[in-house]
Amino acid sequence: MEKILRTIEKIIPKKIYKFFQPFYHLALAIIGTIIYRKPSRHIYVIGVTGTKGKSSTTEFVNAVLEGAGKKTAILSTIRFKVGDTTRPNKHKMTMPGRFFTQKFLRDAVDAGCQYAIVEMTSEGARFFRHTGIEMDALIFTNLSPEHIESHGSFANYKKAKLRLVNHLSKSNKPIRLSIANIDNEHAPSFLISPIEKNISYSLKHVHILSETHTTTIIEYKGVHITIPLPGKFNVSNALAALTLAHELGISTEDAKKGIESLSLIRGRVERIECGQNFTVIVDYAHTDDSLRKLYETFPTSRKIAVLGSTGGGRDSWKRPVLGKIADEYCDEIIITNEDPYDEDPLKIINEVAHGVARHTPHIIINRREAIAYAISVAHVNDTVLITGKGTDPYIMGPHGTKEVWDDAEVAREELQKILNK
């Protein structure tokens, strides 16, 4: 079936295909629902959406559920998990099409999973990949400008996200739940649907007792919880999971046990440890807000930034903005290749560099060489921050070419080279 669909795409002229593309994806979603026998009716489905924090929130939700002894499934940018079986997401998209999501849900049901946590994107909504998924709950993390060139405007981007709330309101599940981060100005739009429960959460609902560059300790409902990741943004992500747990009747102690059992979230403030005397972080931060919050998480150390920006007509407006933020927070800046697609990598890099005014950035097109250089100039207690790709499995080049990639693995390899000298 997959080969047949790809062949059809190649045969049909692009203009005609683009016109019929939404109907095509809608039809596929409906057919997939039928083929896999409407699996979402037989499992508790939790959607997670927003601009930032979706994958981390998905992992925190999974942690609190597992802490309560529940069997779970995950579909996210980072990985696909059904029960105890997990594999990395190598699709370069969060919600793969062509029946993938329905098959995933059927596999989860057949494996005896009680909960499916599904990361939902605006692009997925635009192509109806949520169609046929009957949700029980939807978590909204935040909203800020992203995918503007794809959607045409921020208003259209927000509208795509709101389709998910509307979809929740039409679900046949008995008690539907919408949970939204009220610290974000757009949260009220996600709390007005005619469903049984609209719940907000906020950093005001917790006391932050201590913060380090590795953990944050909070007090929530009288219980002290150590979040094994730094940054207030991770407190917010964890709080979304704690709020859901409370609504599901999971005790705060069980939720605490789950959250504290998390060792790391791949590509999300991921620490690369090889015995070096400085910190190396790999993070997916690729928006202005997420980059700023990441840099603010390491306020006292000398920061060395490795960053770039994606090509292919994807939000080119933010390139100099990312450079400006790195210039504001970091002491040394290396600008490199990320995912150029069919654009000239040097053009993208120069546009990022245009935002750098205080420093003279190092331009190193080869991403491995850029990471190696950043590590080589790091001193004791410095922090090297490698951003933009997280767990992305490829560097996307022209004409559909791709290079197998892993920022964390490359950082480890380059650290070992230096440490073994």
Tokens of 84: 């105890």
CA atoms of 142 and 182, how far apart (whole Å)? 9
- Contact (Cβ atoms closer than 8 angstroms) between residue 95 and residue 75: yes
Position 279: which residue type? T
CA atoms of 230 and 417, how far apart (whole Å)? 28
pLDDT per residue, tens digit, the chain (421 aa), is 555 556 666 677 777 766 667 777 788 888 988 999 999 999 999 999 999 999 999 999 999 999 999 999 999 999 999 999 999 999 988 888 778 999 999 999 999 999 999 999 888 888 888 889 999 999 999 998 887 777 889 898 899 899 999 999 999 999 999 999 999 999 999 997 789 999 999 999 999 999 999 999 999 999 999 999 999 999 999 999 999 999 999 999 999 999 999 989 999 999 999 999 999 999 999 999 999 999 999 999 999 999 999 998 888 999 999 999 999 999 999 999 999 999 999 999 999 999 999 999 999 999 999 999 999 999 999 999 999 999 999 999 999 899 999 999 999 999 999 999 7
CA atoms of 113 and 134, how far apart (whole Å)? 16
Please classify residue 41 by burial: count the beta carbons closer than 10 Å to its beta carbon, then call 0-12 exposed, 13-18 middle and 19+ buried: middle
CA atoms of 269 and 283, how far apart (whole Å)? 5
The size of the chain, in residues, is 421
CA atoms of 345 and 53, how far apart (whole Å)? 27
- According to DSSP H, which parts of 130-251 are helical? 148-151, 154-169, 232-247
Tell me the chain's radius of gyration from C-alpha atoms: 21
Q: What is the pLDDT of residue 372?
A: 98
- Sign of the C-alpha dihedral computed for residues 96, 100, 104 and 105 taken in this order: positive
Q: What is the pLDDT of residue 9?
A: 63
The C-alpha angle with vertex 184 and arms to 179 and 189, in degrees rounded to 5, equals 60
Q: What domains are there in the chain, each with its CATH number? A: 2-261 (3.40.1190.10), 270-419 (3.90.190.20)
- Contact (Cβ atoms closer than 8 angstroms) between residue 275 and residue 419: yes
Number of H-type helices and E-type strands within the chain: 14, 19
Q: Which of 336, 416, 328 is nearest to 371 (CA)?
A: 336
CA atoms of 29 and 83, how far apart (whole Å)? 24
